[in-house]
A and B are shown apart, each in its own frame.
Chain A
Amino acid sequence: MTPSRVFRGVKMAAPIMLGYAPIGAAYGLLAQQAGLSVWFALCLSLFVYAGAAQFMAVSLLSNGAGIAVIIGTTFVVNFRHVLMSAALSPFMRLWKKWQLAFFGGMITDESFAIHSRNFTLNGADPQEAIALNIAAYLTWAASGMAGFHMGALIDRPEAWGFDFALPAMFIGLLLPACRTAPAAIAALTGGIASVTLHLTGAGDWAAFIGAITGATAACLRQDP
């Protein structure tokens, strides 16, 4: 283990940690109010580690939904990670299998956004990348627990503006990712497709189909 590389990874995770802390706390509070046990809430954070799916599971459980519905919806909501995993793969050919599995298990929208920029610029360093993932993962689990036990004490957490930390991070990463014309077309088409899907009630598929639409549109325009 090289401390300087691990430290670099944790440092890169800082904006993610800033964004996860309040959302994780909100998740913990919601789980507590829905009457879930602290262990169940914690296990979802540790073994599923996917914000949108966890919020959805809490609301489905408190509405008495069946197991198959909960697992099926989770699959749909989290299927977009297939694209992120695939998109990072060209940078990771020299990684060991266990490193790929360990890293991949902690891919989130936010960690993907940072990795994809960093791998393009600096290459994929396993220690740095895995340290980033673990820092984000621990922040998510810890803030969930904090929210479960103390969430009710925090009055109007959104007054501090932290709910915009992650959208702002995406803005900061989207602009440099759009430097070429095909990339800009992919972003524009994908974004419009995703918004349209939300409006037609297919929000669960929006990121997945939006991304495929955007990348395909940009490729087709490049070589008609």
Chain B
Amino acid sequence: MRDATVIAGMALVTFLPRVVPLLILTGMKMPKAAGRWLSLIAPAILSSLLLPELLIVRSAAGDELSLSNIHLFAAIPSFAVAWKTKSLFGTVAAGIAATAFLRFLGLE
């Protein structure tokens, strides 16, 4: 019973934020300014999700800023490949290869 309640509750509070805006906004005429703001959400949220992956490490004391971690180093060739080739697959392959190589060298 407790398990079912946890699952149903988590499912509901996750489902609603995913679906309600789509159902409401697709039927509405949107002011121009709101449309422009929404078009800027994509770059803003991509970078809000990415930067902590590169600059934050978790420790017992909480989240800490780190300028020398394996993800930040692996990001450099990934950015270079993304910039040069514009290939998503190439960027992902470069990122994985760089991370594996740095771990092979003994970095963490």
Query: Which A residues lie at the B interface, using CB under 8 A?
Result: 14-15, 18-19, 37, 40, 43-44, 47-50, 53, 57, 61, 67, 70-71, 74-75, 78-90, 92-93, 95, 97, 100-101, 103-107, 109, 112-113, 116-117, 158-165, 167-178, 182-184, 186-195, 198-199, 201, 203, 206-207, 210-216, 218-219, 222
Minimum C-beta distance from B56 to chain A (A): 5
Q: Which B residues between 61 and 104 are near A, CB-CB below 8 angstroms? A: 62-65, 71, 74-75, 78-79, 82-83, 86-92, 94-101, 103-104
Query: Which B residues lie at the A interface, using CB under 8 A?
Result: 2-3, 5-11, 13-15, 17-23, 25-26, 30, 33, 35-56, 62-65, 71, 74-75, 78-79, 82-83, 86-92, 94-101, 103-104
User: Residue B50 contacts which of A70, A160, A191 (CB distance < 8 angstroms)?
Assistant: A191
Complex CA distance for A40 and B3, rounded to whole angstroms: 7
| CB <8 Å contact, A162 and B44 | no
| CB <8 Å contact, B91 and A168 | yes
Minimum C-beta distance from A34 to chain B (A): 13
Residues from chain B with Cβ under 8 Å of A106 in the complex: 18
Complex CA distance for A192 and B47, rounded to whole angstroms: 9
Known: A105-B19, A175-B82. A190 touches B43 (CB 8 A): yes
- CB-CB nearest 7 A-B residue pairs: A168-B95, A214-B44, A210-B48, A161-B100, A161-B99, A172-B91, A190-B44
Minimum C-beta distance from B93 to chain A (A): 8
Residues from chain B with Cβ under 8 Å of A89 in the complex: 21-22, 25-26, 38
- Per DSSP, chain B at the interface is helix
**A164-B98, A203-B56, A222-B36 known, 10 other contacts, Cβ within 8 Å:** A18-B96, A43-B7, A47-B11, A101-B22, A173-B88, A183-B40, A189-B44, A199-B56, A207-B49, A211-B41
User: Residue B40 contacts which of A44, A47, A195, A218 (CB distance < 8 angstroms)?
Assistant: A218
| CB <8 Å contact, A177 and B42 | yes
Residues from chain A with Cβ under 8 Å of B92 in the complex: 15, 18-19, 165, 168-169, 172
- What are 13 A-B contacts with C-beta separation under 8 Å? A57-B10, A71-B6, A78-B18, A85-B17, A86-B21, A87-B42, A89-B21, A167-B74, A172-B92, A175-B82, A186-B44, A195-B55, A199-B56
Complex CA distance for A77 and B45, rounded to whole angstroms: 14
Complex CA distance for A218 and B36, rounded to whole angstroms: 10
| CB <8 Å contact, B98 and A161 | yes
| CB <8 Å contact, B45 and A83 | yes
User: Residue B33 contacts which of A164, A167, A174, A219 (CB distance < 8 angstroms)?
Assistant: A219
| CB <8 Å contact, A104 and B46 | no
Which of A92, A178, A210 is most buried by chain B, counting CB atoms within 10 A of its CB? A210
| CB <8 Å contact, B44 and A164 | no
Known: A40-B3, A174-B43. A160 touches B48 (CB 8 A): no
Known: A201-B62, A219-B37. A70 touches B56 (CB 8 A): no
Residues from chain A with Cβ under 8 Å of B62 in the complex: 201
Known: A85-B19, A100-B26, A203-B52. A165 touches B41 (CB 8 A): no
